[in-house]
Structure 1
Amino acid sequence: MADRRPSAAAAERKRTAILERLSNRTIKPAASTATASPAFESIDFFLAKFSAAKNSIQSCIDRCLIDPSSKTELDQISTSKNSTQSGVDRCQIDPFLSKGELDQISNSKNSTKSSVDRCQIDPSSSKGELDQISTAISELETFIADSSYFLPSYEVRSALKTVAELRDLLEKATESLLPRKKFSFKNKPSSKKPPNPSPEAPAVDSKPIDYPAGFRDREEQVLVKDFRGEEGEGGEFSLCDLSSCEVYIRGKLRALFIHRLKNCRVFAGPVMSSVLIDGVEGCVLMLASHQVRIHRSIGTDFYLRVRSRPIVEECRGVRFAPFGLRYDGIEEEMRDCGLAEETGNWAMVDDFCWLRAAQSPNWCVLPEEERCGSVDISEFGESGSIGLL
């Protein structure tokens, strides 16, 4: 009977094949790491940069409030002042002091006055430093917002709490260094008339914020803007002080500003950077952007596609649903703006006024049975107002 045992050569080939499979198996995880998130999107990177910025801001506030060198100098001034006063008293008692002693007392007095002037707080300098600190805190808040899409909710809440504490410290420092003047009534109104303005003086704009071009001060109109025929993207655009209007915007935008809208419906194409919303009430907004920030808004539904988590602040009764806008060419525009993929961030809202772990009462996901679904705005005509509702 023939021997069925494998030959030595066959066994060697089998062992080599097993080793090759094991080698391929160990290589796969290394290849997968090549597609991992970049270092600047890691939690460790965020925590390190956030901690450094927080410590820098804290040091600046402490330096404004307590300057150890100033305290030492003030102690030296007090001692010098007492010594100078003693010399002045001697001048008054003893009229026969030598010229050298008189010169020494005079020099000491001048030196003390110079030191006192140097330790006086310069309001303009203090205000400049406090403004720089305020800007640094705002930049730190923006850094949190930009990083919120990859951070755990706990880290976002903790970072926002730290920012709130830094703002409280800045407020205390401002009150200490630049106290507000107390209000008091005047007995008699001034009878002087203000001087006539010079004809060369430019008129002062009463609007606090200079928004870019857009639709403003409209009521009960249908407003259409098409940026698709323009070279590149549509730049910045704004919607301000609209009431009971419908707005349809096609084409790419660089930024969109929405301010003081009431009972309006807004449908806009992709935005390459940010959408900033302030003071909307009773509206429906369908938007796609890398970042959406919503301030002081009430009873409004947002249909979003967004790369980072939407941010709400001082809002009530706002609801969120996925983006569903349609018109000719929007798919290509969404790809150009990096918004082709649905991230699900529309339902991961960060409420800057709610730092607890529980769900914020200020926003919720819009129930599916109440959503408007897909909206096609391909059939609207030329740019501008096209009539009344």
Structure 2
Amino acid sequence: MEGEDMKTETPKSGVLEMMARRDRERKLVNEKNQKARQNKSQEEGLQYFESVFDGKVCEIENRINAMIPSSDLGKLQEEFNSIARDLQDLQKYFTNSTFFLSDHKIKTCQIVINQLLTKSDETKSKLLPKKKFGFKNKSSKPSAKLESDIQDGQIKPDVKESTHKEFLWTESQKTNQLLKYTGDQVNNQDMTFKEMENCVIFINGHAGSLQMSKMKNCLVLCGAVSRSVFADNCENCTFAFACQQLRLHSSTFCNIYILVTSRAIIEDCKDINIAPNTYSYSEYESDLQKSGLDGSINNWENVGDFNWLSTDKPSPNWNRMKDDEKVCDWSQFINDFINAHNITSE
């Protein structure tokens, strides 16, 4: 009986084994086909992305290159605003596509966008007169040098107007000062600061862009920036702003409170602490809306570190700010900062 049972079980075992083997083979084939379809889909998606991205980059670059001096400053401003909107759309499209792009591709595309932003800002600074910032009444009387060059209300023929245009910073080389800028000074303007130390800077309104360089022990509280915030060589600073994009280079020991609609980028930075923006003022929501930023989108945790491309370990160069490190009372924080650095109004 035992022999007969073994004889009857052996064919059954063989059939089961064969079915199990076929099932494994079927699953392997399905997995292989599915992976092939995914690879094909990703490849097609990448090709489509590259086609759209490169086409848009070429279009924007051609528009920037075509910008020439014009007496119609309003039309020039309108064209630059249109280019800024296209750059913002390009950044959004790129940000939404990063989930299937390689780290190398992300870095390459971001560099291209940054170059376009810089080129647009540089071209704008050359073609549009920069808004002058002044809080003191200045005499309209001509200088002694200018008076000596005027005869009967006419400028002497040998007096030549310089055609060289240097980059004009909104403020530079200030120490221990409190600076305030209102909406009529800021709106759609490019705000730029260089070599500032122990300063508090209030920027209300909706700026076009914000650039900061060589800032030390400074507190910068800004409203909405419709395009990019670019900062380099900043040390021991606290920043608060809303923007479309943040680029931070070569900076250390900075606390950043941010609302950013695309992706923040850091490079050659250390000890950067980031938190959602909690600073505001009475017209903040209105300025945010006028800037074109979507206040419901905040990618403050989506930080790209160009010095750390590892995907399985977080960058050691920036941290999410701990709750006990965040500013709870901005009014008290500002007063303490002013007192600690002996800051006076300009």
TM-score normalised according to structure 2 size: 0.54
Give the aligned partner of residue 74 of structure 2: none
Matched, 1:159 2:105: yes
Q: 1:365 aligns with which of 301, 320, 323?
A: 320
Q: CA deviation at 1:46?
A: 5.9
CA deviation profile, 1:24-45 (whole Å, cap 9, x unmatched): xxxxxxxxxxxxxxxxxx9966
For residues 106-185 of structure 1, the aligned pairs below 5 Å read 146-152=92-98, 155=101, 157-160=103-106
- Paired residues of 1:305 and 1:339 also in contact (CA < 8 A): no
- Paired residues of 1:148 and 1:309 also in contact (CA < 8 A): no
- Paired residues of 1:160 and 1:352 also in contact (CA < 8 A): no
CA deviation profile, 1:155-199 (whole Å, cap 9, x unmatched): 2514146679x9xxxxxxxxxxxxxxxxxxxxxxxxxxxxxxxx9
CA deviation profile, 1:126-161 (whole Å, cap 9, x unmatched): xxxxxxxxxxxxxxxx99965453234562514146
Where 2:263 maps in the other structure, the secondary structure is coil
Q: 2:301 aligns with which of 333, 341, 347?
A: 347
Q: Distance in 1 between matches of 2:108 and 2:243?
A: 27
Q: Distance in 2 between matches of 1:43 and 1:222?
A: 54
- Paired residues of 1:234 and 1:253 also in contact (CA < 8 A): yes
Q: Distance in 2 between matches of 1:214 and 1:225?
A: 10
Q: 1:308 to 1:162 in 2, by over 3 A?
A: closer
Q: 1:296 to 1:51 in 2, by over 3 A?
A: farther
- Paired residues of 2:208 and 2:227 also in contact (CA < 8 A): yes
For residues 229-248 of structure 1, the aligned pairs below 5 Å read 229=184, 233-248=187-202
Q: Distance in 1 between matches of 2:324 and 2:162?
A: 55
Q: 1:161 to 1:151 in 2, by over 3 A?
A: same
Q: CA RMSD in A?
A: 4.0
Q: CA deviation at 1:277?
A: 1.1
Give the aligned partner of residue 317 of structure 1: 271
For residues 264-279 of structure 1, the aligned pairs below 5 Å read 264-279=218-233
Q: 2:242 aligns with which of 274, 288, 291?
A: 288
Q: CA deviation at 1:216?
A: 1.1
Q: 1:201 to 1:46 in 2, by over 3 A?
A: farther
Q: Distance in 1 between matches of 2:206 and 2:52?
A: 37
AA of the residue aligned to 1:50 = E
- Paired residues of 1:281 and 1:297 also in contact (CA < 8 A): yes
- Paired residues of 1:304 and 1:320 also in contact (CA < 8 A): yes
Q: CA deviation at 1:318?
A: 0.9
Q: CA deviation at 1:238?
A: 0.7
AA of the residue aligned to 2:230 = L
Q: 2:209 aligns with which of 248, 255, 258?
A: 255
Where 1:359 maps in the other structure, the secondary structure is coil
Q: Distance in 2 between matches of 1:214 and 1:388?
A: 16
For residues 48-67 of structure 1, the aligned pairs below 5 Å read 48-50=48-50
- Stretches of structure 1 that go unaligned for 5 or more consecutive residues are 1-41, 55-141, 167-198, 381-385
Q: CA deviation at 1:315?
A: 1.1
Give the aligned partner of residue 217 of structure 1: 173
Q: Distance in 1 between matches of 2:43 and 2:232?
A: 30
Q: Distance in 2 between matches of 1:43 and 1:303?
A: 38
CA deviation profile, 1:278-299 (whole Å, cap 9, x unmatched): 1111100001111111111111
- Paired residues of 1:255 and 1:273 also in contact (CA < 8 A): yes
Aligned residues: 220
AA of the residue aligned to 1:271 = V
Q: Distance in 1 between matches of 2:281 and 2:301?
A: 24
Give the aligned partner of residue 86 of structure 1: none
Rg larger in structure: 1
Give the aligned partner of residue 254 of structure 2: 300
